[in-house]
Structure 1
Amino acid sequence: MSSAMDQTAPAGSTTLPEDRPRAARRRVAVVLFNLGGPDRIESVRPFLENLFRDPAILRVPGFIRPWLGKFIARRRTKAASENYAILGGGSPLLELTEGQARALEAALAGETDAEYRCFIAMRYWHPMSDACAAEVATWGAEEVLLLPLYPQYSTTTTGSSLAEWARAARKAGIDLPTTTLCCWHSDPAFAAATAAMVRAAWHRARTELPGGVKLRILFSAHGLPESIVKSGDPYQWQVEQAVAAVVERLAMPELDHVVCYQSRVTPQKWIGPSTEDELERAAHDKTAVLVCPIAFVSEHSETLVELDVEYREEADRLGVPGYFRMPAQNSDPGFIAALRDLALTARAGSRRLCSFAGGRQCPKAFGDCPHARARAKEMA
C-alpha cells in the first residue's frame, strides 16, 4: 500500500513521469475511505474534536460548531478513553484497513489494463485526506477510483469523506479522471460473502446451544438521528436492503432475524429498534442471539467493545440464553474478491458517480442520495 510505495514522481505531480515508458500500464489510485480511530490514549480527545467539528455530524450553525464540538469532545473523552484502553490504548482500524488495502492490491495485481495502488484516507484521524492526496499525487496517478469502506451511503460517513477528499485533492493539485463508487449495500458478491460468514457463525453458535434454545440473528448497524433520515439520508433504507440481500442468500427457511441499530450518543430520537431493545426482547422470548455487524467491515470500538463487551454484559444481565457475534469481514477472501469486482466494475462503467449496479438505487424520497444531489446541482 501507499506507505511502501516507490515514490517515482515529484511531490505534487499528477502527470506521467518522464522516466516511465509510455507503454506502461495506466496508474489507477484506489482511495479507500474509512472512519479512522485514535492510535493511542492521548489521541482520543483530538480524534473526538475532529469528529464533532464535522458539519455532517454536528448539524448546528457554523459559528457555534467549533465551541460545541470541543465541549462535547471534552465530555466524552473519559468514557471513550476507557473503551480504547480495553483495546490496548488505541484503535485497530488503521492496521486492519492497511491489511484490506494490501489484500485488494494483490487481488488487482493480475489486471493487465492498469496498475492499481491502494491509498487510505481516514476521516477523523491519521492518515487523513490531505496526506492521502499528497501520496496519490507523488505516485503519479493518472486516474482515481474512490472506494468507501462503508457498504451503505450516509451523508455522515461516505458523504463527509467525499467532501473532504474533494477539498484535499484541490489542495494537492489533483485534476484527474475520477470515478466515485457511492454504495454497495446489496452488491451480490458482498451479500454472498457476508452470508457465508453469517452461516458459519450460525453453525458455531448452534453447536454451543442446547437443542431446544432458539437462535435469532440481530443485524446490528450504527444508528443515526431520525431527523437525518427524515431529511433524505438513504442510510436506513440501504441497511435494510443489505440485510434483505444477505438473508436471501442464506436461504434458511423461517429464519428469525431483525435489523437493529446501536451506538446512540445524543438525547434526540434515533432510528430503531435499538440493539438494546432487541436484547430485552430476546430475553423475554428466551431466545439466544447472534449479532452480525451489517454496516461495519472492519473491527473497531463499536464491535470489539460495544458488541463484545457492553452488549454481552447486558445480555447476561437480562438473562439472554446465549450471546454470539459474527466477526467483521476484515480481509476475508470472499469480501476482498467482492471489493475487487466492485472496483473493476465501477472503473469499467461510463459513470463518474456510480452505485454497485451502475445508476441510482435509492428511491426518489431520499434527496440526500448523492445521485439526487448531483442531479440537483446540474439543474441549478
Structure 2
Amino acid sequence: MPAPSSPPRRLAVVLFNLGGPDAPEAIRPFLFNLFADPAIIRLPNPLRFLVASLISGRRAKPATAIYAHLGGKSPLLENTEAQAAALEAQLGSNPGLAGTESRVFIAMRYWHPMSAETAAKVKAYDPDLVVLLPLYPQFSTTTTASSAKAWRQAADTVGLTAPTRLVCCYPTQAGFIDAAADRIRPLYEAARAFGTPRVLFSAHGLPKKVVTGGDPYQWQCERTAESIAAALGVDHLDWVSCYQSRVGPMEWIGPSTDEEIRRAGRDGVPILVVPMAFVSEHSETLVEIEIEYRHLAKEAGVPHFTRVPTVGVHPAFIEGLVRLVGQTLVSDRPACSQNGGRLCPATFSGCPQPGR
C-alpha cells in the first residue's frame, strides 16, 4: 500500500531484534524457536522440527552455562527497551513529525515479546502507518527477512491492515557509523600504550552456502567495516573484517574472529574487537567476546585486549534511526534502504530491493 501523502496522525515504529531467554527454563525453548526457523535450518518439516529438537537439546546445557554469566537470562530485551524509549523520545521532538503521535514497539523473533503479541498491540494502537525497523544494520535472509516474514504472518492473523514500510538495511548510515567510531576512539588511544592496535570488526557468521546463495550480509558487513575504519581517521589503520559464533560442521564465511585473535598473538599486537553487526549488548558481546575471546587472547599472547561496547543508545545512533524512519514517510517503496533504493550489487538475489 502507498504511504500516506501527509504525515501520519499516528505512527507505529516496530523494532525487530532476535530476542533471548528471560529465565534459565526459557533457554531450551528459545533455542528450539531459533533452529526451527526455516531461514536458519533450511529443511522441510518434519525434518526441520526433528533437527531443531535435537540441536536445542544438545545446546541447552552449554547455553545455560553461557547465560549463567549474565544472571541466567539475556539482557537483550532490557537493552532494546532502552533503545525504544530513546527513539520514541527523539521522534516526539522531531520537527518533521510535528502533529504526529509516535509510539515504538518491540517484536522479538525467537522469544517474548514476539510478533504475534506485538502485532495485537499495534492494531489496538490503530496507526496510520507502521515502520518496521530492524536492529540488524546489515540485511540478511536469516535476520531481517525472517523477522519481516514473521511480522507479516502475525499482522495478517490479527487483522492489522495499516500501510507498512520496512527499513531493510543501513550498513553505512552516518549515525550508526559515527556512533561506532565514537565508541572506538578513546579505547583505541588507550590501546596505543601496548603497540599499534589492530581493530577486529566482528560480526555473527553465516554458513558459506547462505552467502553463495545470494544473501548480501557479508558484502554489507564489509561495507560497515570500511566505513567505520574511514570514520576513525587513523592513518594506516590496521583492521580486518571477521566473523564469530560458528556452529555446526558446515563451512562458514571467514576469516573467523578466533583465527584473527591468534594471528594478533603471533604478531604481538594489541587488539580491539568491535561488534559491528550487533547494536545491543547480549551473550555474543558480553560472554563470547568479553569472556571467551579475552581468555583466548591471553592464551594467544595478545599484549592487550579490548571489547568495544555496542552503539546502544548513543545519541548519533538514535538520531540515525530517526532519520531512517523519516525517510520511509516520503517513500512509496515497501522496503527502504538507508538511501531509499537498492544498495547491493545485482548479483545478490537475496536483496529485497528490485535489481538494477
TM range (shorter): over 0.9
TM-align CA RMSD:
1.4
The structural deviation recorded for 1:332 is: 1.3
CA distance in 2, matches of 1:288, 1:227: 33
**What percentage of residue pairs aligned between the two structures are identical?**
51
SS in 1 for 2:101: strand
User: Where does the alignment leave 5 or more consecutive residues of structure 2 unmatched?
Assistant: 1-6
Deviations 1:98-142 (A, max 9, x none): 000000000000230421100000000000000000000111112
The structural deviation recorded for 1:83 is: 0.3
Counterpart check, 1:244 vs 2:230: no
Counterpart check, 1:166 vs 2:143: no
Q: Does the CA contact (< 8 Å) of 2:176 and 2:311 recur in 1?
A: no
CA distance in 2, matches of 1:157, 1:359: 20
- Which residue number corresponds to residue 193 of structure 1? 179
Counterpart check, 1:49 vs 2:32: yes
The structural deviation recorded for 1:352 is: 2.4
- Which residue number corresponds to residue 175 of structure 1? 161
SS in 1 for 2:258: helix
TM-score (normalizing by structure 1): 0.89
Counterpart check, 1:325 vs 2:307: yes
CA distance in 1, matches of 2:90, 2:237: 34
Larger radius of gyration: 1
Output the amino acid matched with 2:237: L
CA distance in 2, matches of 1:267, 1:250: 37
CA distance in 1, matches of 2:235, 2:101: 44
Alignment partner for residue 244 of structure 2, among 262, 265, 286?
262
User: Where does the alignment leave 5 or more consecutive residues of structure 1 unmatched?
Assistant: 1-23
Output the amino acid matched with 2:68: A
Q: Does the CA contact (< 8 Å) of 1:25 and 1:112 recur in 2?
A: no
The structural deviation recorded for 1:62 is: 2.3
Deviations 1:138-165 (A, max 9, x none): 1111210010000000000001000000
Counterpart check, 1:29 vs 2:23: no
TM-score (normalizing by structure 2): 0.95
- Which residue number corresponds to residue 70 of structure 2? 87
- Which residue number corresponds to residue 13 of structure 1? none
What number of residue pairs does the alignment pair up?
347
Q: Does the CA contact (< 8 Å) of 2:135 and 2:279 recur in 1?
A: yes
SS in 2 for 1:214: coil
The structural deviation recorded for 1:351 is: 2.0
- Which residue number corresponds to residue 103 of structure 1? 86
SS in 1 for 2:322: helix
Stretch of structure 1 that moved more, 191-200 or 362-371: 191-200
Output the amino acid matched with 1:61: P
SS in 1 for 2:178: helix
CA distance in 1, matches of 2:58, 2:180: 36
Equivalent residues in 2 for 1:1-380, closer than 5 Å: 26-110=9-93, 111-206=97-192, 209-210=193-194, 213-372=195-354
Structure 1 runs of 4+ off > 4 angstroms? none
SS in 2 for 1:304: helix
